[in-house]
Structure 1
Amino acid sequence: MTLGSSRAGALGPRPAAPGAHPGSGPRGGPAVGRRTLMQGAGALAALGGLGALSGCAGTAARAADDIAFWHLLSGPDGVTMGEMLDGYMATDGAPTVTQTVLAWGAPYYTKLAMASAGGRAPDLAIMHAARVPGYAPGGLLDEWDLDLFGEFGVAKEDFPELIWEKMVVDGKLTAIALDSHPFVLYYNTDIAEAAGVLGSDGLLLPTDNPEDFRELALELGAKAPSGYGLSWGYLGDGSNQWRMFSTYYSQLGGTIDLPIGGKMEYQEEIVIQAIEWILSLIDGEVGNPGHDGGTAISEFATGGSGAFYGGVWESGSYRNEGVPFDMTMVPGVFGEPVAYADSHAFVLPHQMTPDEDRRRNVHAAVAYLLKNSITWAGAGHIPAYSPVIEDPAYADLVPQSHYADAVDHLVYDPPAWFTGSGSDFHTYFGNDMQNVWARRTDPLEGWNAFVARINALLLKPTPM
């Protein structure tokens, strides 16, 4: 099956995948326009191999001005990426970029690894930055040429420190981040105004301790039709459970190390403190104790609750639905306002004999996308290319500019071959912790079951 370029016809919506976000396997939103989209591991497996994919054609079989680009961006993100690529291809002398869009999560990463190992890799691909440490050491990714990027006006200094650190693995520049997409707090501005919790600037009043935050949430709930100040969905969604836990565990100063061949290292006292705090937010008074992702989103989208914990990628849907909302970084009630995050990053899947001219064209294309990523910011993501954020035009983006400082407070998954967005790490966390949030299991019992699974993975060699 051959997949078309970005100029293919639009498709209809598709259902959500647990733990996914609308830009990468969404709940609901419109599917990718102007390209043909292949969905699902079953359809991919039916091919019986990778040779039929347009992105897998041997590099020698294509001209240097034809770039094969794989990614997992669908919904509004997919449409936006198509528009940005159309803009690039309209520039003088730009090559054609042929997109292949694969299903979010394990199907995508498995196919990308197989393509790199089998000598049929695309010229360019998107990965979540937290997944890169599991791929780069196995030789599945090639290194970017920073000197070549310099010719196109892109330098190390153009990226925030926390993001740059995720782009370098074992001293090699193996990823170029397009964005960061952190866990944030949405709030209904009408409900917040009625509750008297907006400042003179029209923004949510700051809180820097758990007592004040809980009081603010209760005030929101008193004016919300549902009676709840906060919405957070966790049932059946290991990734969203992990995002919430990672945010507050990190605010409390907790760290996690995953030494291959060893055992997971963490601070048990802080683990319990973070779990108990989250339970206090879904106690039936502050927030609903039994939401899944869809019901939490629906509660906020229909104006039922005062605030919502979620990823920045939901902003486009809420805007389209006419919700009166604004956004802020998750308040730092235990210290710095750090929060879980990941990044969409460009990578060079390994090729045995890459075409030099095509590699140069790929660097030029990525530089263009970075410099024009204010368009990408429209979907809620924070551009990783700092000059875009520093441009006065970005300050005019609302609510995007209200949480832009999150780039200095990002917390990525601890590096390991099994962590990152859509990974087993998130799935196992949800499997073992869901009963904790539902108050059917003791916090430490659920956590210890999760740790046991991770320790078993640490004893296994990386499959990459």
Structure 2
Amino acid sequence: MEYTPGRLSRRGFLTAAVGAAAVPLLAGCSSPVAAGLFGAQLSPQTIVYWNLFGGGDGTRMEAMEAGYRKVYGPDSLQATTFAWGNPYYTKVTLATVGNRPPDVAIAHLTRAKPLWDGGLLEPITEADLAAVGLSVSDFSKRPWDAQVTDGQNIAVPLDTHPIVAFFNSDVCKKAGLLDSAGHLEQLDDLHRFEAALAEISKVTGGLAMTVANVGGETATPWRVFWTFYNQHANATPFLSDNGARLTVDEDIFLEVTGKLQDWVKKGWVNKALDYATAESFMFTGKTGLYLEGEWEITTAQSVKGLTFGMAPIPTLYGTPATQADSHTFVLPRKNRSDEQRLQAMKFIKSMLDQSMTWAKGGHVPAYLPVADSAEYKALEPQAQYAVAAEHAVYDDAAWYGGSGSTFEGIVGAQLGLVQQLAVSPQDALAAIKNQLRVYLNTPSPL
């Protein structure tokens, strides 16, 4: 299905948006740090690096930053962490427009593309890579190919982070779903998967699988939907032409959302649980399966007495596909010397060399010397779901799309309501069309 309403002018959109949004956004971006976080003059050799990593990711990134400082000196790096999602990307955008960006920044691959389209990133050439001993062949094909835009390399991928199936080993063993090694059996095929949900439900006396969908949680419903939607061989993009057209296949949308409601009505999937509670149900054996990003491995490993595993989400509709994004390193547009550009690439190379530290937090390394190493392949349970990265499906390119975006919030909220049985799939689709209308009508303001 293709939906292309009449278009607003760029001028009309910006006029309407400035009064509502411009002042708060600018106020939220006081003190860009190109010359030091508080205005202090930095050495030209000091790399200014921005990221959005909190929790376990933040701790591991700090360890990797320490690894860089150990080689290049204690004053070689100024790293700053900002709030995840739109606040972070607003800061990167405004700092770059104001010619005070960081030397290197983290960007989700799905958010790097709008930055590139807005002229805010510098391309990374093969010469840049070669200067620090890198080449295209050092990276996993899926994320590397996905970052190439307009024939240019716009980012260096650090990882792929897919949504996966966590499973409670005790529950799934009682349900007869584990093999002799304690791994989840292949549950590909819709009928096999539903039979497994029924068996788990018998063990728990209630839910078989949890998917967070309330308390402001819109990302998980989107990730689950986008996974199953793209497992259909004839699935079309949800958005096309950089977000100017809604091209979702309505029949597949209704099939996937209708199936989710069916699972809820049968008592196999929760009607309404927030992020923490959906997770805790798997931890405490109230459910056998929990669908979430692999980064929750750190939380699961911290639960005393929990025996769990992780696996790719089963292929229910014939085509392996898993919603994912990638953390990437980007070079914001700025005036920099050849020496400063080389040092920025040295920083990126240092981070890639430490990908094993990053992988212990669940993310699948994009840097093949680590991903193909015996050390990584022996890492459990990472080894059991790493293949999901080969079937990564990224969100469609759109200036208002990507991880933590307006698009994800709008669509994910409606999908959450479908799971709550608050709206029908048809009404959810109608609401999505209506709420996306202004964004479909509006050229990128970047």
- What is the TM-score when the length of structure 2 is the normalising length? 0.89
Partner of residue 431, structure 1 = 413
Partner of residue 16, structure 2 = none
**What secondary structure does 1:309 align onto?**
strand
Pick from 40, 43, 49: which aligns with 1:63? 43
Pick from 431, 437, 441: which aligns with 2:423? 441
* Residues 1:260 and 1:231: Cα distance change in structure 2 (over 3 Å): closer
**What secondary structure does 1:444 align onto?**
helix
Whether 2:338 is the aligned partner of 1:350: answer: no
- C-alpha separation in 2, matches of 1:215 and 1:46: 50
Whether 2:432 is the aligned partner of 1:450: answer: yes
- Structure 1 residue 370, shift from structure 2 partner: 1.0
Partner of residue 76, structure 1 = 56
- C-alpha separation in 2, matches of 1:442 and 1:454: 18
Whether 2:203 is the aligned partner of 1:203: answer: no
**What secondary structure does 2:245 align onto?**
coil
- C-alpha separation in 2, matches of 1:142 and 1:83: 27
- Structure 1 residue 62, shift from structure 2 partner: 3.3
Partner of residue 303, structure 1 = 285
- C-alpha separation in 2, matches of 1:52 and 1:89: 18
**What secondary structure does 1:345 align onto?**
strand
8 Å CA contact 1:56–1:122 kept in 2: the answer is no
Deviates more, 1:113-122 or 1:44-53: 44-53
- Structure 1 residue 201, shift from structure 2 partner: 2.9
Partner of residue 148, structure 1 = 128
Whether 2:313 is the aligned partner of 1:330: answer: yes
* Residues 1:298 and 1:146: Cα distance change in structure 2 (over 3 Å): same
* Residues 1:450 and 1:154: Cα distance change in structure 2 (over 3 Å): same
- C-alpha separation in 1, matches of 2:96 and 2:366: 26
- Trace 1:407-418 onto structure 2 (pairs within 5 A): 407-418=389-400
* Residues 1:57 and 1:155: Cα distance change in structure 2 (over 3 Å): farther
Q: Give 1:243's aligned amino acid.
A: R
8 Å CA contact 1:231–1:300 kept in 2: the answer is yes
Partner of residue 291, structure 1 = 273
Pick from 183, 201, 207: which aligns with 1:228? 207
Whether 2:260 is the aligned partner of 1:278: answer: yes
- C-alpha separation in 2, matches of 1:148 and 1:52: 22
8 Å CA contact 2:121–2:332 kept in 1: the answer is yes
Pick from 95, 116, 119: which aligns with 1:139? 119
- C-alpha separation in 2, matches of 1:64 and 1:100: 17
- C-alpha separation in 2, matches of 1:292 and 1:303: 17
Whether 2:143 is the aligned partner of 1:160: answer: no
8 Å CA contact 2:34–2:102 kept in 1: the answer is no
Q: What are the ranges of 5 or more consecutive residues in structure 2 without an aligned counterpart?
A: 1-22
- Structure 1 residue 57, shift from structure 2 partner: 5.8
Q: What are the ranges of 5 or more consecutive residues in structure 1 without an aligned counterpart?
A: 1-40
Partner of residue 396, structure 1 = 378
The Cα offsets for residues 407-460 of structure 1, whole Å up to 9 and x where unpaired, read as 210010000101111100011113333332222222112112212332431221
Whether 2:294 is the aligned partner of 1:315: answer: no
8 Å CA contact 1:232–1:308 kept in 2: the answer is yes
8 Å CA contact 1:313–1:380 kept in 2: the answer is yes
- Structure 1 residue 365, shift from structure 2 partner: 1.4
8 Å CA contact 1:106–1:423 kept in 2: the answer is yes
* Residues 1:415 and 1:261: Cα distance change in structure 2 (over 3 Å): closer
Partner of residue 11, structure 1 = none
Partner of residue 236, structure 2 = 255
**What secondary structure does 1:326 align onto?**
strand
- Structure 1 residue 294, shift from structure 2 partner: 2.0
- C-alpha separation in 2, matches of 1:158 and 1:279: 43
- C-alpha separation in 2, matches of 1:287 and 1:191: 15
The Cα offsets for residues 119-176 of structure 1, whole Å up to 9 and x where unpaired, read as 0001011011101111101111111232232232221112222211222121111111
Q: Give 1:234's aligned amino acid.
A: N
8 Å CA contact 2:168–2:283 kept in 1: the answer is no
Q: Give 2:333's aligned amino acid.
A: H
* Residues 1:451 and 1:121: Cα distance change in structure 2 (over 3 Å): same
Cα RMSD after superposing both structures: 2.2
Partner of residue 107, structure 1 = 87
8 Å CA contact 1:339–1:409 kept in 2: the answer is yes
- C-alpha separation in 2, matches of 1:462 and 1:171: 20
- What is the TM-score when the length of structure 1 is the normalising length? 0.85
8 Å CA contact 2:158–2:328 kept in 1: the answer is yes
- C-alpha separation in 2, matches of 1:209 and 1:152: 45
- C-alpha separation in 2, matches of 1:46 and 1:268: 39
Partner of residue 264, structure 1 = 246
Q: Give 1:255's aligned amino acid.
A: T
* Residues 1:51 and 1:209: Cα distance change in structure 2 (over 3 Å): closer
Q: Give 1:83's aligned amino acid.
A: A
